């Protein structure tokens, strides 16, 4: 135990990741043992989810109560949604470009590829197909307003929680001094929850070991071999998006993308290992504040982005769609690819928070351009591994978005950010 205390948390996570790969490779195919390993990862994620909603509510309500200006809040919301729409559209567009350039599905025989099980996603997809793509988005907007805030808290639905937090914060601002006891309580509660997060994160190496081990046991590293070209295309596309697209946005804000990666390196490592954005939401919010982003912007933009700005997922979906088309020899015209881009945009917004969202989105949209959704069964083996990568892009993209919104509002403290970087 004393030895572990001398090893910092990032190093522990790396060790856990390596050990998970080794043990998973040894036990590959022995799925019975997953039932004994998986719970360790599930407990960690459940603990994080338990604390995410209190952090979002306390932080956002407290911040909004201090701002107290509906025009300012409205401006935040408008800028944020516009940014999300532009960046998600660009991510899908970049995915189509790289998919056409590298042609990951050309030259493969679908009959020789191992097929995975997509049945657990099909029921969700069929339910979604019963309404139009526009209705998915409309339903999402309507459901932002909770009928029961305690139900929203219990289910961990971030968008209704964000809506209520903003509304509650405005109410606190409106009643003035009478709200001070409530604000004091929220401030104290926020500090207490962040203390709890610090303790929960000590379990991160165990969770990483559990998730990596079960992933390798289930799919194996051998799943990457027949779909190597697809994996390579996704990796190159996402690296391009990070260092060129997000790099340009970061430069506009007066920072380098490498500085943001340095800032979030531990969070990105944890997000990659667990394939969960929620696992790092509390710590990323805290780091954004220390990096010079006001709390009201960080606590609004980051949680909203986890539902509306999944750049990595959007890019992967467009590449995967082209992969299926190329695999079966279906040529998609420019018009059909534009239709695919629009459909992916609308459907992905309507699928915010759905488990296995990327596969569900693809199942509901491939038919719009005449593709066989069953082709997705051929990429299930690498989907979990690629999900780890796209989770990192999602986290990084939303962090850059937070800095960008703060910069456009003229409230980003670059000097504070530079000073904080020196301490890392």
Instruction: Give tens-digit pLDDT for 41-77.
Output: 999 999 998 999 999 999 999 989 988 777 888 899 8
We report the CATH number of the domain holding residue 298 as: 1.10.3860.10
In degrees, rounded to 5, the angle at the alpha carbon of residue 379 between the alpha carbons of residues 352 and 22 is: 100
Its domain, for residue 405, covers 2-422
- Cα–Cα distance between 317 and 91 in angstroms, integer? 10
- Measured CA to CA, the distance from residue 195 to residue 201 in angstroms comes to 10
pLDDT of residue 356: 61
The separation between CA 312 and the C-alpha centre of its own chain, rounded to angstroms, equals: 8
Angle among Cα 94, 98, 103 to the nearest 5 degrees reads 150
Are 386 and 231 within 8 A, CB to CB?
A: yes
pLDDT at 70: 79
Q: Are 344 and 361 in contact (CB under 8 A)?
A: yes
pLDDT in tens, the chain (424 residues): 555 567 888 889 889 999 999 999 999 888 889 999 999 999 999 999 899 999 999 999 998 998 877 788 889 989 999 999 999 999 999 999 999 999 998 888 777 666 666 555 555 555 555 554 455 567 767 878 889 999 989 888 888 999 999 999 999 999 989 999 999 999 999 999 999 999 999 999 999 999 999 988 887 777 677 788 999 999 999 999 999 999 999 999 999 999 999 999 999 999 999 888 888 999 999 999 999 999 999 999 999 998 888 899 999 999 999 999 998 888 888 988 988 888 888 777 655 555 567 777 788 788 777 787 777 888 877 888 888 899 999 999 999 999 999 999 999 999 999 999 999 8
Say if residues 179 and 172 touch (Cβ distance below 8 Å): yes
Q: How many CB atoms lie within 10 A of CB 230?
A: 26
pLDDT at 378: 81
pLDDT single digits (tens) 314-356? 999 999 999 999 988 888 889 889 888 888 887 776 555 555 6
pLDDT of residue 371: 80
Which pTM value belongs to this model? 0.86
Q: How many domains does the chain have?
A: 1
Quote the CA–CA distance of 341 and 349 in Å, as a whole number: 13
Number of residues that this document lists for the chain: 424
pLDDT at residue 397, as a whole number? 96
**Residue 348, exposed/middle/buried by CB under 10 A (0-12, 13-18, 19+)?**
buried
**Look-up: residue for tokens 């407990």?**
43
Structure confidence at residue 411 (pLDDT): 95
């Amino acid at each position: 135990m004393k030895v572990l205390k001398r090893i910092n948390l990032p190093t522990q996570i790396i060790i856990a990741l390596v050990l998970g790969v080794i043990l998973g490779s040894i036990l590959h195919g022995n799925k019975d043992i997953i039932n004994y390993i998986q719970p360790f990862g599930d407990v960690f994620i459940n603990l994080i989810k338990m604390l995410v909603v209190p952090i979002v509510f306390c932080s956002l309500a407290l911040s909004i109560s201090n701002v107290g200006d509906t025009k300012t809040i409205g401006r935040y919301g408008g800028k944020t949604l516009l940014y999300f729409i532009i960046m998600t559209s660009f991510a899908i567009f970049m995915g189509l470009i790289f998919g056409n350039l590298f042609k990951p599905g050309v030259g493969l025989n679908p009959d020789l590829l191992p097929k995975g099980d997509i049945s657990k996603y099909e029921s969700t997809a069929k339910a979604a197909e019963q309404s139009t793509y526009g209705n998915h988005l409309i339903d999402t907007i309507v459901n932002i307003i909770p009928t029961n805030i305690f139900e929203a808290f219990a289910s961990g639905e971030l968008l209704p929680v964000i809506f209520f937090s903003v509304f509650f914060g405005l109410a606190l601002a409106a009643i003035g001094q009478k709200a001070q006891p409530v604000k004091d309580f929220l401030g104290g509660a926020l500090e207490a929850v962040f203390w709890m997060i610090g303790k929960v994160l000590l379990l991160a190496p165990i969770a990483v070991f559990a998730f990596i081990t079960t992933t390798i046991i289930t799919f194996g590293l051998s799943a990457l071999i027949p779909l190597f070209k697809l994996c390579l295309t996704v990796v190159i596309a996402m690296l391009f998006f990070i260092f060129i697209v997000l790099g340009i946005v970061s430069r506009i804000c007066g920072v380098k993308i490498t500085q943001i990666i340095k800032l979030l390196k531990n969070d990105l490592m944890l997000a990659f290992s667990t394939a969960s954005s929620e696992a790092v939401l509390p710590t990323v919010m805290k780091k954004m504040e220390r990096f010079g982003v006001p709390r009201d912007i960080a606590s609004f933009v980051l949680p909203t982005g986890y539902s509306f700005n999944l750049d990595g997922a959007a890019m992967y979906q467009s590449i995967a769609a082209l992969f299926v088309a190329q695999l079966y020899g279906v040529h998609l015209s420019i018009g059909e690819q534009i239709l695919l881009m629009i459909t992916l945009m609308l459907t992905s917004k309507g699928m915010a928070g759905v488990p296995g969202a990327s596969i569900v989105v693809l199942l509901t949209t491939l038919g719009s351009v005449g593709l066989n959704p069953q082709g997705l069964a051929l990429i299930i083996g690498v989907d979990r591994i690629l999900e780890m990568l796209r989770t990192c892009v999602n986290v990084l993209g939303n962090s850059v978005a937070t800095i960008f919104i703060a910069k456009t509002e003229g409230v980003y403290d670059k000097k504070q950010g530079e000073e904080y970087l020196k301490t890392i």
